[in-house]
Amino acid sequence: MKKVILFVIDSLHPVVLERVLAQGDAPAFRFLAKHGTYIDRVVSSFPTMTPVATSSMITGTWPDRHGVPGFIWYNEEIRKIVDYGATWQSVLRIGQEKVLRNLLIKLNEEHLNPETPTLYETLEVGGYSTGCVNFFMHRATRRYPTELPFLISLVTHFGLNHEKVSGPSQLTLGELIHPPFSGRLNSYPRGIFHRFGFNDAFSGKIAAQLVQEGKQPDFMVVYFPDNDRYSHQYGPLRTGPSIERADHQVAAVLDEFGSWEKAIEETMIIVTGDHSQTTVGFGSEYLIDIDCALKSFKQLKSTEEANEDNNKEIAICPNERMAFIYILQRINEILPDVVSVLSKDVRNAQIAWKVSENRYCVLQGGTEKQLFFSRLGTYQDVYGQSWALEGDLSVVDVYVTDDQKIKFGKFPDAFTRLISALEARSGSRVVISAASGYEYLAVGAPIHSGGGSHGSLEEEDSTVPMIISGMPISMDNVRIIDLFPMILRHFGL
C-alpha cells in the first residue's frame, strides 16, 4: 500500500499559490501539481480558524460534531472562556500555564469530541502506522511524556512536565516531543527565537529525517505554521516568499526518496491549507469594536467564571473576522437586544442565531434583509444537502436555479457552516461574520490593520487550494472534511 504524507500550510491562499506556480518559484509544488491533481478551491470550516479547521481535517466532521468551536469560545461546562493563546496579552492575563495546558492537552484530550475518531485512531485500529509533525491535532492511542524546555518551565512555572500527551506512533510537537535528532543539532531551529521548534524548518527537518531513517509511517501529517504569521503581517497577497520557503521544506523531504519521481511512486503526497486569509483595511474604521458596541450588556471577562454573584449577561469570543456572542441568561430578552445592536452595523455581513429546533435566522447588518433556513426542504445544494428557505437569499449570496438547485456565491456551503458554528457544543449564541476588509476588535483579539486576517464565512478566508500527487483522484465540490474518507478509502478502510 502506498504511504501518504499530508502537508498543511497554514493560511495557504489559492491565488498566491497559483501565481507562485506560474512563475516557477515553487519547484516542488509545481512538480507535484504537474504529476497530480490541482484543486483550486477546497472549502474550509466556519469559523475559518486553525483549531477548528484542523479538527475538521483530522475527523472529517464540522465543529457541531468534533466539538472545537473556535480559537476563543465559551465553555458552558466550566462557565468560562477558553482561549488557546490568541495574543501575548491574553496569555499573560489568563496565565501561561493555563494557555499551554489548553493548547497542549485539553484541546485534544477534552475539547475534541471523543466520539469523533481521528484519522490516526482509525488508521491505527486498521493496522497502519501514523505520524504527526507539529500539527495541532494529534489525538491517538499512545501516551507521550512531555519534556518542557527549561526556559518554558522557568517562565510558566508549568507543572506539565511528565504529564502525558496522546499521539500516534510518530509524534513531534516542537521541542516538547520529537524523535531523537539525527545529524547536526543546530539544523533543528529551536529555542525561544524559533518558537521552540514550532516552525517550518523544524517540521521539514523532522519529516525528512523520518523518510531518511526508514521510519516514515503509513500516514503522516506535516504542519507548516510560518505562512500564517507572514500573511497576518504582510497581507495574504504578499505571501509568495513564505510559500516558496514551505516549498523548500517539501522539496527537501522529496529529495530523501532519491528522486522526486520515486517519491510519488512510493508515496501519495497532498499539499493543502487549513484556511486562507483576507486583506484588512488600514485604519481604525476597519476594526469593528464589539466590546464597545455591546457595552450596555454585562460582559464576562476572560478570566471570570459566570455565576449568580456576578450575574454576567454575555460572553464575547472574538475569532478575528468572526465572533461568538454567547448569551448567558434571559435568552429570550437578551438575544434579540444583542441582534438589534449588531444589525445596525453594515460591517457585520452576517448575524446568525438559532430560532428553534432546526430553524435558524441570518441577517445582513445595516439592511432589513433576513433569511430563515432549516435542514431538509425542497432546495438541493451541490453537496447533496437539502434546505427549506424563507426570506432574502442575498443575505448569504445564494441563488436558486429553475430546477430548485442552490448555487452558493461569496459564502461557500453557507448554511451547513453557519449551523455548525451555532450548534458546536452547548450554549445560546449569536454568530457574526465581518464584511470583506474588516476585523473584530475586542479584549483578547489580535488585530492586523493593513495585514491579513481570517475567521469569516466569506470565500477568501474559506477556500484553500489542494495538490494531490501520486494517486489519480476525481472529486467535485471538495471540502476539507473530504480528506478523511478519501484517505481511509486509499487504505481500504
Write out the residues near Zn ion by the rule CB under 5 A: 228
Q: Quote the least distance from Cβ 388 to Zn ion, whole Å.
A: 35
Relative to beta strand 463-469, strand 267-273 is: antiparallel
When the beta carbons of 228 and 381 are compared against Zn ion, the nearer one is 228
Q: Are 421 and 487 in contact (CB under 8 A)?
A: no
Q: Quote the least distance from Cβ 11 to Zn ion, whole Å.
A: 6
Q: Quote the least distance from Cβ 365 to Zn ion, whole Å.
A: 24
Q: Quote the least distance from Cβ 417 to Zn ion, whole Å.
A: 18
Q: Quote the least distance from Cβ 231 to Zn ion, whole Å.
A: 7
Strands (E), 173-246: 219-224
When the beta carbons of 276 and 343 are compared against Zn ion, the nearer one is 276
Relative to beta strand 314-319, strand 322-327 is: antiparallel
Q: Quote the least distance from Cβ 226 to Zn ion, whole Å.
A: 11
Phi-psi region of 415 (alpha: psi -120 to 50; beta: other; left: phi over 0): alpha
**Residue 290 amino acid letter:** I
When the beta carbons of 10 and 121 are compared against Zn ion, the nearer one is 10
When the beta carbons of 84 and 484 are compared against Zn ion, the nearer one is 84
When the beta carbons of 273 and 427 are compared against Zn ion, the nearer one is 273
Q: Quote the least distance from Cβ 136 to Zn ion, whole Å.
A: 12
- Nearest-angstrom CA–CA distance, 261 and 255: 10
Helix axes 200-212, 240-255, angle to 10 degrees: 10
- Nearest-angstrom CA–CA distance, 387 and 374: 6
Counts of helices then strands in the chain (DSSP H, E): 17, 24
Give, as one character, the DSSP assignment of residue 194.
G
Q: Are 58 and 131 in contact (CB under 8 A)?
A: no
When the beta carbons of 302 and 319 are compared against Zn ion, the nearer one is 319
Peptide bond into 47 cis (omega under 30): yes
Q: Are 201 and 251 in contact (CB under 8 A)?
A: no
Closest residue to Zn ion using C-beta atoms: 228
When the beta carbons of 85 and 179 are compared against Zn ion, the nearer one is 85
Relative to beta strand 72-75, strand 164-167 is: unpaired
